[in-house]
Amino acid sequence: MTPPAVPPTAFVRIDHHSAVHLAAATARSIAQQCRLPGAAPDRAAVVASELASNLDKHAKDGALYIQPLPLGAGLEILAADHGPGMPELHRCLADGYTTTGTLGAGLGAVSRTATDFTIRTQAGVGTLACARLALPGQPEPVWQGAGFLCLPAEGEEECGDAGAIVRHAGIRTAVVVDGLGHGPRAAEAAQTALRAFHAAGDRPLPQILDSLHRALRHTRGAAVGLLRLHAGHAQYCGIGNVRVLACSPRGVDHRLTGQPGIVGWKIPAATTHSIPLAHGTTAVLHSDGIDARWAHAPSPFMLRLPPPLLAAAVAHGHRSSRDDATVLAARPEQRPR
Ligand SMILES: [Mn+2]
């Protein structure tokens, strides 16, 4: 018996006008699956339609990424493209400013409709936007300051990667799992690991890894990266090819890959690494479906992106279509003042 899997991120490439309708229908259907109440599925469809329509009219290599926020907290719609950027972004966001002459018509409507709307643009590079429709009265905004995308290999229904972020006593812990290979059996391993993570997410990282190792014994196994975000630093514990990096506005400060081994089959005694995270630094955790070269010389624009947009930029620009790909980006929570 297999419990319901966490759905991967829906990907809608905007390469034709018909994709605008597909984007709206996808957002509506995911909103309904998340049981968003009342007019929320219609609002999700409007947001997706406006963002997709912008990409269709003006952008190069645009796509929407649509997914539920975890714990039934709502829905997220990300838009990413590779140009031309929006020099008139402020006017595009202003009420009443609509023109078909520039990218950005309808963004005012998007920012009014979404609970949270974040957008960054760079001339000649591209635009990234994140619209979240949250359910009212969410007590734990675990995804604030965090972003996540999990995409199956092209042609696969199921995703052999998975990831999650949880919070215990104000400290967040994230996981990225890459089930060996791809397809249904990789997905089974990844989802098994995710359930074990949710049961053990408050323990020390080596103990979480042990729980995952035991849970994955009868699966094909997985690579796993665990990250715990403290104020000022993160702890990382990993087996196999799940990488972690620290991105500050100045550059990529740290990069680590997991110890050799396969979780579920054979793992060494776990080592926990400490990674400094100065203010404004984002920790990025990703599976090997993301080309590691993205971090060789990221642009200043990329390094300054808030975590949800950084995750989208990495996935949109650097994922392999032949492998499942997951990227999770997060900053430590701000201490209450
Ligand atoms: Mn992989």
Expressed in angstroms and rounded, the spacing between residue 107 Cα and the centre of ligand 1 is 36
Expressed in angstroms and rounded, the spacing between residue 326 Cα and the centre of ligand 1 is 9
**Same domain, yes or no: 110 and 216:** no
Domain boundary among 109, 134, 159: 134
Expressed in angstroms and rounded, the spacing between residue 290 Cα and the centre of ligand 1 is 8
Which CATH number belongs to the domain containing residue 235 in this structure?
Answer: 3.60.40.10
Measure the N-to-C terminal CA separation of the chain; round to a whole number of Å.
Answer: 47
Expressed in angstroms and rounded, the spacing between residue 289 Cα and the centre of ligand 1 is 5
Expressed in angstroms and rounded, the spacing between residue 5 Cα and the centre of ligand 1 is 18
C-alpha span between 13 and 62 (Å, rounded): 6
Question: Residue 323: what pLDDT?
Answer: 95
Q: Which residues surround ligand 1, an ion (CB under 5 A)?
A: 178, 288-289, 323
Confidence bin at 2 (pLDDT 50/70/90): very low
Expressed in angstroms and rounded, the spacing between residue 119 Cα and the centre of ligand 1 is 30
Confidence bin at 139 (pLDDT 50/70/90): low
Expressed in angstroms and rounded, the spacing between residue 324 Cα and the centre of ligand 1 is 6
Expressed in angstroms and rounded, the spacing between residue 45 Cα and the centre of ligand 1 is 32
**Same domain, yes or no: 113 and 223:** no
Question: Residue 140: what pLDDT?
Answer: 57
Expressed in angstroms and rounded, the spacing between residue 321 Cα and the centre of ligand 1 is 11
Q: Is 62 left (phi over 0), alpha (psi -120 to 50) or beta?
A: beta
Expressed in angstroms and rounded, the spacing between residue 182 Cα and the centre of ligand 1 is 7
C-alpha span between 101 and 186 (Å, rounded): 46
Expressed in angstroms and rounded, the spacing between residue 186 Cα and the centre of ligand 1 is 9
Which CATH number belongs to the domain containing residue 101 in this structure?
Answer: 3.30.565.10
Which of 46-60, 128-142, 188-202 is predicted with the least confidence, judged by mean pLDDT?
128-142
Expressed in angstroms and rounded, the spacing between residue 189 Cα and the centre of ligand 1 is 12
What contacts 266, CB < 8 A, 6 or more positions away?
A: none
Domain membership flag for residue 18 = yes
Question: Residue 143: what pLDDT?
Answer: 80
Domain boundary among 134, 161, 190: 134
Q: C-alpha angle 77/79/83, rounded to 5°?
A: 175
Expressed in angstroms and rounded, the spacing between residue 82 Cα and the centre of ligand 1 is 25
Is-contact 182 197, C-beta < 8 A? no
Q: How many domains does the chain have?
A: 2
**Same domain, yes or no: 310 and 254:** yes
Expressed in angstroms and rounded, the spacing between residue 265 Cα and the centre of ligand 1 is 17
How many residues are there in the chain?
337
Expressed in angstroms and rounded, the spacing between residue 180 Cα and the centre of ligand 1 is 7
Domain holding 97, by residue range, is: 10-134
**Same domain, yes or no: 110 and 203:** no
**Same domain, yes or no: 88 and 191:** no
User: Residue 62: helix, strand or coil by DSSP?
Assistant: strand
More reliable by pLDDT, 100 or 262: 262
Domain membership flag for residue 232 = yes
C-alpha span between 123 and 121 (Å, rounded): 7
Q: Element (H or E) spanning 133, and its range?
A: strand 126-134
Is-contact 122 283, C-beta < 8 A? no
Question: Residue 135: what pLDDT?
Answer: 82
4: pLDDT strictly greater than 50: no
262: pLDDT strictly greater than 70: yes
Which of 6-10, 66-70, 136-140, 234-238 is predicted with the least confidence, judged by mean pLDDT?
136-140
Domain boundary among 81, 114, 134: 134
76: pLDDT strictly greater than 50: yes
3-state helix, strand, coil in the chain (%, to 5): 30, 30, 40
C-alpha 50: how far from its chain's center? 21
**Per-residue pLDDT tens digits for 280-317:** 999 999 999 999 999 999 999 999 999 999 999 999 99
**Same domain, yes or no: 215 and 126:** no
Question: Residue 1: what pLDDT?
Answer: 34
* DSSP code per residue over 106-160: THHHHHHHSSEEEEEEETTTEEEEEEEEEPTT-S--TTTTEEEEEEPPTT-SS-S
Expressed in angstroms and rounded, the spacing between residue 255 Cα and the centre of ligand 1 is 18
Is-contact 270 293, C-beta < 8 A? no
Question: Residue 91: what pLDDT?
Answer: 74
Q: C-alpha angle 294/300/301, rounded to 5°?
A: 90
Expressed in angstroms and rounded, the spacing between residue 288 Cα and the centre of ligand 1 is 5
334: pLDDT strictly greater than 80: no
185: pLDDT strictly greater than 80: yes
The one-letter amino acid code at 4 reads P
Question: Residue 64: what pLDDT?
Answer: 98
**Same domain, yes or no: 120 and 158:** no
Expressed in angstroms and rounded, the spacing between residue 241 Cα and the centre of ligand 1 is 8
**Same domain, yes or no: 105 and 20:** yes
The structure's pTM equals: 0.94
Rounded to the nearest integer, the mean pLDDT of the chain is 91
More reliable by pLDDT, 101 or 136: 136
Expressed in angstroms and rounded, the spacing between residue 160 Cα and the centre of ligand 1 is 8
Expressed in angstroms and rounded, the spacing between residue 325 Cα and the centre of ligand 1 is 7
**Same domain, yes or no: 151 and 289:** yes
Question: Residue 83: what pLDDT?
Answer: 87
**Per-residue pLDDT tens digits for 200-253:** 999 999 999 999 999 999 999 999 999 999 999 999 999 999 999 999 999 999
Expressed in angstroms and rounded, the spacing between residue 154 Cα and the centre of ligand 1 is 13
Expressed in angstroms and rounded, the spacing between residue 320 Cα and the centre of ligand 1 is 9
